[in-house]
Every structure is written in structure tokens, then in C-alpha cells.
Structure 1
Amino acid sequence: MAFGKALAVAAIVAVTLVVLLRTEHDYATIKSFSLRKGDIPQLGLGTWLSDRDEVAHAVEYALDNGYDHIDAALIYKNEDQTGKGIKASGIDRSKIWVTSKLWNSDHRQDEAEAAIQKSIADLGVGYLDLYLMHWPVAFVPGEGTRLDEGTSVVDTWRTMEDLVRKNYTRHIGVSNFARADVQAVLNVCEVCPYAHEFETHPYLQQQNFVDWHREIGVKVIAYSPLANTNPTYRDKKGSLVGPIFKDPFWTELAESKNATVAQVVLAWGVQRGTVVIPKSESEKHIDENRGALEVEFSKEEMEAIAKRDKKVRMNDPGKSWGIKLFADLDDPSGFDGDNAEL
């Protein structure tokens, strides 16, 4: 009899544990929204500032030559041409990771849904793998860059969550956020950020910020991973540090690896755990950038690179928008210097 009672108690305990574990698992699934077909590829093709007449071929060529990740945005004004390149490649949709972004004037619910529908249609992809809030800044629709004081980051995030529930995108994330902005989203999210895309490169390493994202389980996508090679940067803050392709430290490191400077810079970005999305319209450079995946560094080499951080931010439109960005990060916005682009 005692033995039978013991079995009954054990059964009840087991069932209770299963229920509790299932409940915790279900909650975790809701909080992280991990309906993955695989993680985001570590190397992608960026399309910011890509010429409308050239981006379709660049995308097609990249996809036909080993790339499986395209980074786009509505504000780049070339998603329709990017979509032509995706279609021309003939690569199955399920084998391509496609990211797009919600522009500042589309933060309200109706505008956001229309914006993602347009991106999906222009890209010709049926759905997105990742949709990012492009900046933690809302503009009043139809009124240029006038700030929308009535729409908060949290309000926009709730709208983004609905876009996942409506199957427009598999994942959502943020871009160009300060740490406090990310934390504000984490405090309330039901569908939480999959990734954060922000400027980081050897001249703006932000290693503590990168490490913090790893701790909270958010992927880091590094835009402008080749530092000040972007022509937009060269006449602004990029001129303060000199072109990275001529930096003796990087040219010597590249020579030691029998690689190009672009390859070693991108390889560093990959080895530190970030996703890199260099933009190029050149077949030669698209091929060259892919070679970065073959370059590796020793611990001592990574430590030497860490000492080359110049803490110089190239992209900061805060002045023109009348808002201070990156307040708790290296080189935060000021209102007495040059602004940059998107």
C-alpha cells in the first residue's frame, strides 16, 4: 500500500514538473520569438548608397557567388532594384536572408504596415527575415523631419510586434539605438529584438556594447564595417583618422595574412562575433569580401587590434534632426559638429 502511494505521489510530481517546464518554455518562446530556419549569415551584402542602375546586378552576382544575405531599407530608395537582383539570381527564397528597415516617418501603426508591405513587394520576397526600427526617432508623417513627440520607441515596438504576428517578418530588431533605448524595449517586449544593427568598425569598436548584446542574446550587425571607406564619410569625421586602407597597422596585418585590408578588417568583425554587411557594386570586391571568411587571428592579434580603437563615429544625423543620439555610447551626438547620413 505504501509503495502504491509513493508511486502515485511520484506521478503527480512528474506531471507537475512537466506542466511547469512547459509553461516556462512557452513563456521563453514568446519572449524570444525564435521561429528560426537558421541564424543570420555572418556576411551579407549591404545596399545603402548602392546606385539604382548597378544594385540589381550586384545583388544577383553576390547571390550567384555564395552570398545568402541581403541588407536593404525602404529609405535607400533602391529596394525595387534590389528585388530585381534577387529574382534574377533564381535562388530559392527560403535560402536567402533578407533584412529591411522601418523609416522614421512610418512609426505609426498604419504607416508601418504600409511600409513593410511596400518593402516586401519591392523586394519580391513574400516576407522578411528581419525588420529593423531604423532609428529610435519618430517623425510626423508627411512633415519632413519634425519630431513626433506622441510616438515613443515603446509605441513603435508594439507596432513592430504586430508585424511579426501578421507574418510579414520572421524577426524584428533595432538599429542605431543607444543602450538605454535597447533596454527600454527589453523591459516591455513580448516579441523581443533578434538583432541590433549599428555602426561598428576598427575605429569605433564599442567592444563593451557588443559584449553586452551577446549577454542579452541579441545579434549585432555591423554596418560600415570598413570604417571610413564610404565616400560619405571621407569629407567628414573620416578625415580625422585617415583612410583605413592606408593605415600602416592594417596594411601590415593584411600582408602578414596574404590578404587585402578589406578582408582582414571584415575578418576581424566576424571573429569578434558581429555580422558584417559591406556594400559593393563591384564583382571584384564582392568576391574579395567573401574571402574574409577564410582569415583568422590569434588572441594576441585580436588584442593588438583592440588597441587601435579611435572611438570615432562616422554616421550621426542627430544635429540635423535636433536630437542627441548615442548618449551612453562612444562619440555621442553633439550639436556643434557635422552630421552624416542614414
Structure 2
Amino acid sequence: MALLQIISAMAMAIAAPLFLGQPLFTLPVAAQAQWSRVHEIPGFGLGTWRSNGDQAAHAVEYALSLGYDHIDAAHIYRNEDETGKGIADANVDRRYIWVTSKLWNTDHQPDRVEPAIRQSLSDLGLDYLDLYLMHWPVAFVPGDGTELDRETSIVDTWRAMEDLVRANLTRFIGISNFSRRNLNVILDICDICPYAHEFELHPYLQQNDFVNFHKEVGIKVIAYSPLGNTNPIYNGRHGNLPPLLEDPFWKKLADVKGASVAQTVLAWGMRRGTVVIPKSVHENHIYQNMFSLEINFNVLEMYNISQQDKRARMNNPSESWGVELFADLDDHTSLDGNKGQEL
């Protein structure tokens, strides 16, 4: 049995005698959040980006049945209802799982922030979130398009998100896909400061200085796309690089560890102190990924891995949105004129 399963089984066994039946009354959201047994974000979870329909529901249910305790969701993934179905079908105690969702760009206007989280909660079938992230530091005009709203700042949006914590709709708030400059803007004004920052991290885009900066200021780092260019949506990006799972360096290291390349890469992500959220809808991958929890590295191995950084970003909508993202980070896209202004 994998380590995560053992820990989860022990925790549930301890709690089981207290919660065999339905509660006689419903606790306020604040009390439910305070009673959460997951005090810190788990270092390993299931991503749900590009998981469709029934596949998403089954993947979430299966992962939770194995002992996963962390689900990463978002409104723009358009599958939060199915993610919520998977949570419900797994019949797990809400207090033993961590659920993250994200505010989409069309809902940055302060009066739209609370309705947006309430919609996510309704779709997920939950009373509160553990973490709610500003998905991008970019505001769109409400609707279905990507027209920029240059009147709404990330500070305006953050202030409204702070109120979500005060209203007990989420335990923590955070950010996603921010540059260092934009992060500092929030740190300069926050009353409730970011708990976590989710951004692209993998062996081909290690961003060691940026990761270390988060450690210095006490912000958790969540690595999305932790397996790099294995996601089909990244086909053609940095075509000079081999698929990560076929990279000779990683294949050799995986052989040393007696593990798959995917397991070894995920283990490295956790050992450097980041949270990894690999996405899969395949039972075998969901199960096999758990064994990354059992892999360790020595100092020399960690150093050698750091020398494999390609500074290759796979996810960058700067050109399509007309705004310069990641301006002070590796592999950003520079735009000309007004279109190149960083929001």
C-alpha cells in the first residue's frame, strides 16, 4: 500500500467512530473550516485541467478512494460540477480533503467576486473552499470574450477576495500565474496575504530564484504542469526539446530510483518544496503517480537536476490576450506598444 493510502486510512480509522451517522445539526461554515483536519496544503494532489465530463468525475472519485486528499479545480476548466460529483461519489469526510478553485478573469470586478466563488461552491457541492486563487493577474470585461478591463486592478480584485475569507467562503486565498512584480504589488497592500501561488514549474522551467523568493516571504508554491511538455496541449512548444518522459537524463535517473520517469519528476517537484498536482483521467496513472511520495534524492542529484533547466515556458497566453505576462521571469513574451503593458 502506498504511503498516502496508509496515512489516509489511519486518519479515517481514527475519526470513524465519531462520524458514523449524519450530524444532528449543520455546523456554520466557519466552524467546518476550523475543524478541517488538513491544516496545510498537501504536497501532492490531483489536477483537473482538461479533464472532461464523466472522466473528471471518475478520476476524482478514484483518486480520493486511493487516499488522495487534494483536488485542484477552477471555474474555467468547465468541469467543477463533475469534479463535485466525483467528490460526492467518493463519500469522503470533507474535513480530510483540500479543495482549491480559481477566480476567472471575467469575474475580477469586485462586485462579481463573491458570486463567482458561490457558483464554484455550488458546482462543487461544497460549503467552503480551502484555497481560492486569482487565476491570472488579468481582468477581462464580463462576458465570453477576452477584452481587457483596464479599469479593474489586481488590487481591486484582491480586496474583494479578502472579504471571501472574512465571509468564511474560503479558508485561504492566493494567486496564480503572477510575475514577481505583480506579486509584490499584492504583498505591499494585503491585509490577508497570499497563502499560495500556483504557476508553471517542471524540469524544463525550474525558476529556482522565483521559487526561493516565495520561501523567503512564506508563500506556498503549487506547480502546475509538473510533467512539462507531456500535456498534448503543449505540442509544438519548444519543439527542440524531447518529451520530458523521454529525456535521457531523466530516464537514467529514473532507472537509478527504480521508478518511472513521471514518478521521479513528481518526486523532485515535492523534494524541492513545491506542491505538485499532476492531471490524469487514467486510473493507472493516478495510482502510479502516488509512488512518487516514496522517492528521495541526495544533494548531488538535486544539483545535477538544477543543471537541466531549459527555461522553457509551455503556457503563455500573452499574445492572444494582448498583455505582457511573466515580464520579469524566464521565457516571457515581449509585446510592442500599448499591447505590451503589464497589468
Taking the aligned partners of 1:74 and 1:140, their CA distance within structure 2 comes to 16
Taking the aligned partners of 2:115 and 2:333, their CA distance within structure 1 comes to 31
Q: Which moved more, 1:85-94 or 1:325-334?
A: 325-334
Q: Percent identity?
A: 61
- Aligned in 2, Cα 1:35/1:163: closer, same or farther, shift over 3 Å? farther
Match of 1:233 in 2: 234
How much does 1:319 deviate? 0.4
- Alignment partner of 2:194: what SS? coil
Letter in 2 for 1:302: M
How much does 1:114 deviate? 1.2
Counterpart check, 1:221 vs 2:222: yes
Taking the aligned partners of 1:54 and 1:73, their CA distance within structure 2 comes to 16
How much does 1:236 deviate? 2.5
Match of 1:84 in 2: 85
Unpaired segments of 5 or more residues in structure 1? Answer: 1-33, 337-342
Q: Once the two structures are superposed, what CA deviation does each residue of 1:20-57 show, in whole Å capped at 9, x if it has no partner?
A: xxxxxxxxxxxxxx998511000000000012120101
Q: Once the two structures are superposed, what CA deviation does each residue of 1:66-99 show, in whole Å capped at 9, x if it has no partner?
A: 1000000000000000000000001011111000
How much does 1:143 deviate? 6.0
Counterpart check, 1:177 vs 2:178: yes
How much does 1:334 deviate? 3.3
How many residues are aligned here?
A: 302
Alignment of 1:309-328 (within 5 A): 309-328=309-328
- Alignment partner of 1:281: what SS? coil
Counterpart check, 1:334 vs 2:330: no
Match of 2:206 in 1: 205
Match of 1:290 in 2: 290
- Aligned in 2, Cα 1:101/1:84: closer, same or farther, shift over 3 Å? same
Taking the aligned partners of 1:201 and 1:130, their CA distance within structure 2 comes to 22
Unpaired segments of 5 or more residues in structure 2? Answer: 1-33, 337-343
Match of 1:255 in 2: 255
Counterpart check, 1:45 vs 2:46: yes
Letter in 1 for 2:318: G
Letter in 1 for 2:245: F
- Aligned in 2, Cα 1:244/1:90: closer, same or farther, shift over 3 Å? same
Letter in 2 for 1:42: G
Match of 1:146 in 2: 147
- The alignment's C-alpha RMSD in Å is 1.4
- Alignment partner of 1:241: what SS? coil
Taking the aligned partners of 1:63 and 1:150, their CA distance within structure 2 comes to 41
Match of 2:265 in 1: 265
Letter in 1 for 2:309: D
Match of 1:5 in 2: none
Decide whether the 8 Å contact of 2:203 with 2:309 is kept in 1: yes
- Aligned in 2, Cα 1:323/1:150: closer, same or farther, shift over 3 Å? same
Match of 2:61 in 1: 60
Decide whether the 8 Å contact of 1:171 with 1:194 is kept in 2: yes
After TM superposition, the score normalised by the length of structure 1 is 0.86
Counterpart check, 1:279 vs 2:279: yes
How much does 1:235 deviate? 2.3
Taking the aligned partners of 1:243 and 1:170, their CA distance within structure 2 comes to 38
- Alignment partner of 1:171: what SS? strand
Decide whether the 8 Å contact of 1:35 with 1:170 is kept in 2: no
- Alignment partner of 2:53: what SS? coil
How much does 1:335 deviate? 4.5
Letter in 2 for 1:278: P
How much does 1:251 deviate? 0.5
Decide whether the 8 Å contact of 2:35 with 2:95 is kept in 1: no
Q: Once the two structures are superposed, what CA deviation does each residue of 1:281-311 show, in whole Å capped at 9, x if it has no partner?
A: 0111001111000000000000000000000
How much does 1:333 deviate? 1.9
Decide whether the 8 Å contact of 1:45 with 1:69 is kept in 2: yes
Taking the aligned partners of 2:152 and 2:236, their CA distance within structure 1 comes to 34
Which of the pair has more CA radius of gyration? 1
Decide whether the 8 Å contact of 2:327 with 2:334 is kept in 1: no
Taking the aligned partners of 2:292 and 2:255, their CA distance within structure 1 comes to 14
How much does 1:113 deviate? 1.1
Taking the aligned partners of 2:198 and 2:241, their CA distance within structure 1 comes to 23
Letter in 1 for 2:302: M
